[in-house]
């Protein structure tokens, strides 16, 4: 947490120095002297449960307590994160978590949210990226624009599921709350292209889902272009649990099977894994996070598989998404956008 949120790096002297913080704000320089000098990973014992909290929780006093971590990172551990496995925590926003062996040389990956040694798994570099709005975009459309209740998500999903890739003739950008990665620009905004007087609400709903999946693909490509191998994608969180349409569209756009965790509470499960690790250090079955993960991390029977024809259409639309993404998001980009609307209509007619 210190590495991802406070720029802590042991090799660089821990937290940023007073001079740097003072240039941001004088109060931060004053605060520096009161902060920690050492950070610890979650396989370490922070201390023992005291009497007051043992009474409140109904647990035995003296139980070892593991060093805490960020919720998404523990969720990734509870989902079964490991080398070459991408865990997507999908909710109001999306957090993408991967790990990379710290014995290997890792390239810098421009635009990701954090690269921190030991932040997710001991012996690995934690890599974090994500999108600042996913479920929030769907909620905005249903609640703020259409002014419908939560149940209308199901209505729109059922109607949108009857459409094929490209059938809406629409294309959107997923920047309604800025772009977290890979552009790291909070001042970017959303966009929907291709609307006509005949456009339906469920068509826009599907298009917004597709936009978030295109954004997810852009993040994956950035990682892969800088030496990260992704052989499996595991999904957890409210959207993965509740919306099959979203998961199928992601499978088709990413062209990867979308697995979903069996546990709906992977954050709690990840915390329990580290709790067990520090509490049972002398037990042969608790010698590593991976030992415990093998026993408790499960995947649902239903895996969303990519559909070849849908992916081929989405691949064509993704090229248009990248043109719009780069034109609005990267300074100096010169893309010819004149044919874009007409190509969307051509794709719509073809399907």
pTM of structure = 0.95
Whole-number pLDDT of residue 15: 95
DSSP alpha helices (H): ranges in 105-259? 135-139, 152-160, 201-224, 238-242, 244-254
- When pLDDT is cut at 50, 70 and 90, the band that residue 93 belongs to is very high
Mean pLDDT confidence for 298-320: 98
Whole-number pLDDT of residue 50: 95
**Residue of higher predicted confidence among 284 and 174:** 174
For 95, half-sphere exposure in the C-beta direction (CA atoms, 13 angstrom radius) is 22
Whole-number pLDDT of residue 116: 95
Kind and range of the H or E element at 330? none
DSSP-derived pairing of the beta strands 232-236 and 85-90 = parallel
Q: Residue 269 above 90 pLDDT? A: yes
Whole-number pLDDT of residue 140: 98
Q: Could you identify the residue written with the tokens 């902060």?
A: 35
DSSP state of 217: H
Could you tell me where the beta strands, DSSP code E, fall in 82-189? 85-90, 94-101, 114-117, 124-131, 171-173
pLDDT tens string 113-128: 999 999 999 999 999 9
Whole-number pLDDT of residue 12: 87
Rounded CA-CA distance 171/208 in Å is 8
DSSP state of 273: H
* pLDDT averaged over every residue in the chain: 96
Q: Residue 277 above 90 pLDDT? A: yes
Whole-number pLDDT of residue 81: 98
CB 130 within 8 A of CB 113: yes
Q: Residue 197 above 90 pLDDT? A: yes
- When pLDDT is cut at 50, 70 and 90, the band that residue 256 belongs to is very high
Whole-number pLDDT of residue 173: 98
Q: Residue 281 above 90 pLDDT? A: no
**Residue of higher predicted confidence among 150 and 285:** 150
- When pLDDT is cut at 50, 70 and 90, the band that residue 150 belongs to is very high
Whole-number pLDDT of residue 310: 98
Q: Residue 285 above 90 pLDDT? A: no
Whole-number pLDDT of residue 282: 87
pLDDT tens string 232-246: 999 999 999 999 999
Whole-number pLDDT of residue 33: 86
Q: Residue 11 above 90 pLDDT? A: no
Q: Residue 73 above 90 pLDDT? A: yes
Residue burial 108-137, b: 16+ Cβ < 10 Å; e: rest: ebebbbbbbbbbbbbebbbbbbbbbbbbbb
Q: Residue 230 above 90 pLDDT? A: yes
pLDDT over 90 for what percent of the chain? 93
């Amino acid at each position: 947490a210190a590495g991802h949120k406070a720029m802590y790096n042991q090799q660089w002297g821990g937290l940023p120095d007073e001079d740097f913080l003072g240039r941001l704000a004088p109060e931060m320089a004053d605060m520096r002297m009161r902060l920690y000098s050492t950070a610890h990973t979650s396989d370490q014992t922070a201390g023992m449960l005291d009497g007051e909290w043992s009474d409140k929780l109904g647990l035995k006093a003296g139980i070892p307590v593991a060093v805490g971590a960020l919720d998404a990172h523990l969720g990734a551990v509870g989902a079964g994160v490991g080398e070459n496995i991408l865990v997507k925590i999908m909710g109001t926003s999306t957090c993408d978590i991967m790990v990379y062996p710290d014995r290997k040389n890792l390239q810098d990956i421009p635009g990701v949210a954090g690269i921190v040694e030991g932040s997710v798994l001991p012996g690995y570099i934690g890599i974090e990226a994500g999108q600042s709005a996913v479920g929030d975009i769907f909620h905005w459309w249903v609640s703020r624009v259409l002014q419908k209740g939560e149940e209308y998500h199901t209505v729109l999903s059922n109607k949108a599921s009857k459409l094929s890739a490209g059938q809406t003739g629409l294309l959107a950008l997923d920047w309604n709350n800025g772009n977290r990665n890979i552009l790291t620009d909070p001042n970017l905004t959303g966009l929907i292209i291709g609307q006509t007087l005949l456009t339906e609400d469920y068509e826009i709903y599907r298009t917004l889902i597709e936009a978030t999946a295109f954004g997810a693909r852009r993040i994956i490509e950035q990682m892969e272009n800088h030496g990260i191998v992704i052989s499996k994608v595991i999904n957890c969180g409210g959207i993965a649990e509740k919306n099959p349409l979203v998961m199928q569209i992601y499978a088709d756009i990413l062209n990867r099977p979308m697995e979903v965790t069996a546990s709906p509470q992977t954050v709690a499960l990840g915390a329990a894994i580290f709790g067990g690790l520090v509490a049972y250090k002398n037990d042969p079955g608790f010698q590593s996070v991976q030992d415990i993960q093998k026993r408790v991390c499960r995947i649902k029977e239903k895996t969303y598989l990519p559909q070849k024809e849908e992916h081929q259409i989405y691949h064509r639309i993704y090229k248009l998404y990248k043109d719009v993404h780069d034109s609005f998001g990267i300074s100096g980009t010169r893309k010819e956008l004149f044919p874009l609307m007409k190509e969307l209509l051509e794709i719509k007619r073809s399907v």
